[in-house]
Copies of this chain bind each other. A is one copy, B any other.
Amino acid sequence: MSQEEKNELPKSIDLSHHLSDLAKARNVSPLKGFFKYYTPDVLALAGGVPHPDYFPFATLEASTLPVDTYSSTPGTITSPSPLAWLWNLFSSPSAARTTKISVPKYVSDPLNEVNLATALQYGMATGVLPLQQFLRDYSRIFYKPGFSDFTTLVHTGNTDGWSRVVYSLLNPGDSMLVEEWTYPSALSAALPIGIHTVAVPLDSKGMRPDALRHILSTWDSKSRGFNRPRLLYTVPIGQNPSGLTTGEERKRAIYEICVEYDIIIGEDDPYYILQEGEYIAPDVRAKRANARKETKKKTDEEEIRAFVESLERSYLHYDYQGRVIRLDTFSKTIAPGSRLGWFTCNPMFAERLERAGEVSTQAPSGFTQSMVTQLVVKTWGMAGYVRWLRGLRAEYTTRRDTLIDAFCKAMGVELVTEEYRNEKPGGDVWDGATVWTATLTANAGAVKGAKGVEKKVRVSFVPPTSGMFVWVKVDFSDLSPPIHVPGEEENEGTHEGRFWVTLAKAGLLILPGWVFRGEKEHAPIDPNKYAHYRISFSDSTVDNMDKAAKIFAKTLREYCSQ
């Protein structure tokens, strides 16, 4: 594919009309004038920087896990061990294999070797050099952007990154496109400055291009009260909360609409490497695992390529104009407490996002930069990191399978292979999917021996192919709407809310649909008829997943029989 030959790719186009007033008003770096005269020979008595001798850390060290800690093929959950807190005290196979890494304060080549004198000092908002280089390589190899002059810039996690994007592109009163169910923290940054959100419907393949085009082509600022959106916020892989994944065809179609209507795409992709693939029923899964053959040993380069090829592409790959700002994070691959991630985008946006960083977080923590760079860049390298990511993907695949197995077992779910029946006028999040549905028949309103009316409650979900979440829909439409109880919060007075509270009181905490509404004031669907819940499989034990499924099934039966 000739587009992948870097020197044949187009450069990004001029998108400076997208900058917010705030972004335009930000100065160039105050350090710019300073560095004009900064040479290796000059004596600099300019900065208010402590000498590194005064940092009380002589070295920073860590015991780190080997890249092959986790099997790269799904099986049973390796982690967490039910005795996780004892992990350190007694030897375990992986603990015994830890590698010691160490970052000294002073090194002979401070630009290229990780060292505390640099990492713990004041630094540019661009971070330490070896990390910058690694991230650029990573974006190039994994995303193969469709324009040549893409660049990368560190941030302190996608929440920080997204805040910077909002403030750099939108003025108060502007609007942005979001998925009809979306990540609430992305809205928390935007809503307080008076940004309006416009929800784009989803179906089983992700965001619907027809719906997106309809919104934009029929836009009437007067009746809406605000201008047409110029920014799209999307979580394309393992979407939060719906678990949906947007593939190549959809991405290309959505990208073309964004070109046509001059929209910037903010691609928030924390679950990118957690592309778990199709859920397969346990019996078939077991047979396939037995049939799996040893494949011949690959070179590092082949391993990297095979992994990259196994993943959906980023919007960046289809971006020939530089209108995608991609957000990546180490939160899911190393640790959320890293507070480290990066943008990949055109150099003009990157420069403005860097200025925004200079007046807030500055560089990411030097402790983080030291440890992540020393481990990922200097100890593992790209091939090692890919091996680690493959292990994580396999673990999350097993987790996904374990949770769904448990729910199927507890609910007695039967597979519905027909096209999903719309439950919402104009389309539904699962249109076109293979949906798993359990139908409970409850004896609602039974009082002391007297037979109640028979009611059906259906629980449906689509096993996600990526991410950390199963999005469950409960069809309460056969039940009467609940009667509001004085003192009850509004959202807790619907079937969605009341069942959620009932579950929590029964010992299971998941997240209810209303939290994820793309337009806060509009429920995409009546929560008294169709309740939605996000169930995470990211961090519980096998036992707890089993218990959770049982609590869910038992509590739902009881709830419907009231």
Contact = CB atoms under 8 A, between A and B. Distances in A.
A464 interface: no
Interface string A157-168: 101100100000
Contact of A468 (B48, B65, B334): B48
Interface-central residue, A30, A54, A60, A70, by most chain B CB under 10 Å: A54
Given A191-B25, A191-B27, A58 B51 contact: no
Given A85-B106, A163-B359, A80 B56 contact: no
B361 A156 contact: yes
B468 A45 contact: no
Q: Within the oligomer, what is the number of copies of this chain?
A: 2
Nearest to A332: B50
Given A365-B364, A388-B56, A336 B551 contact: no
Contacts of A95: 58
- Which interface class (under 10, 10 to 19, 20 to 34, 35 or more) fits A? 35 or more
B338 A538 contact: no
Contact of A53 (B57, B81, B364): B81
A327 interface: no
A455 interface: no
A34 interface: yes
Given A54-B79, A157-B362, A336-B49, A551 B43 contact: yes
Interface in A214-241: 240
Contacts of A191: 25, 27
Interface string A98-134: 1000001111101000001101111100000000000
A42 B55 CA distance: 43
A539 interface: yes
A540 B511 CA distance: 55
B48 A58 contact: no
A334 B538 CA distance: 35
A150 interface: no
A440 interface: no
A62 to B, nearest CB: 5
Contact of A337 (B47, B122, B270, B359): B122
Nearest to A41: B507
Nearest to A380: B56
A7 interface: no
A22 interface: yes
Contact of A58 (B46, B65, B338): B65
Most central of A104, A366, A547, A548 by chain B CB within 10 Å? A366
Contact of A338 (B240, B366, B507, B509): B366
A357 to B, nearest CB: 10
Interface in A45-90: 45-65, 69-70, 78-81, 84-88
A366 B388 contact: no
Contacts of A107: 85
A316 interface: no
A22 B193 contact: yes
B157 A119 contact: no
A424 B258 CA distance: 58
A490 to B, nearest CB: 12
A472 to B, nearest CB: 11
A63 B106 CA distance: 13
Contacts of A537: 45
Contacts of A515: 30, 33
Given A50-B332, A65-B58, A361-B157, A188 B338 contact: no
Contacts of A339: 156, 361-366
Contacts of A87: 53, 105-106
Given A62-B60, A362-B339, A510-B45, A55 B334 contact: yes
Contact of A80 (B33, B34, B53, B507): B53
A37 B367 contact: no
14 contacts: A43-B551, A45-B403, A47-B536, A54-B395, A56-B335, A56-B388, A58-B88, A88-B105, A122-B331, A123-B337, A159-B361, A337-B369, A367-B367, A367-B371
Interface of A: 22-23, 25-27, 30, 33-34, 37-38, 41-65, 69-70, 78-81, 84-88, 95, 98, 104-108, 110, 116-117, 119-123, 156-157, 159-160, 163, 184-185, 188-189, 191-194, 240, 270, 331-332, 334-340, 358-371, 375, 388, 392, 395, 403, 468-469, 501, 504-505, 507-511, 515, 534-540, 544-545, 547-548, 551
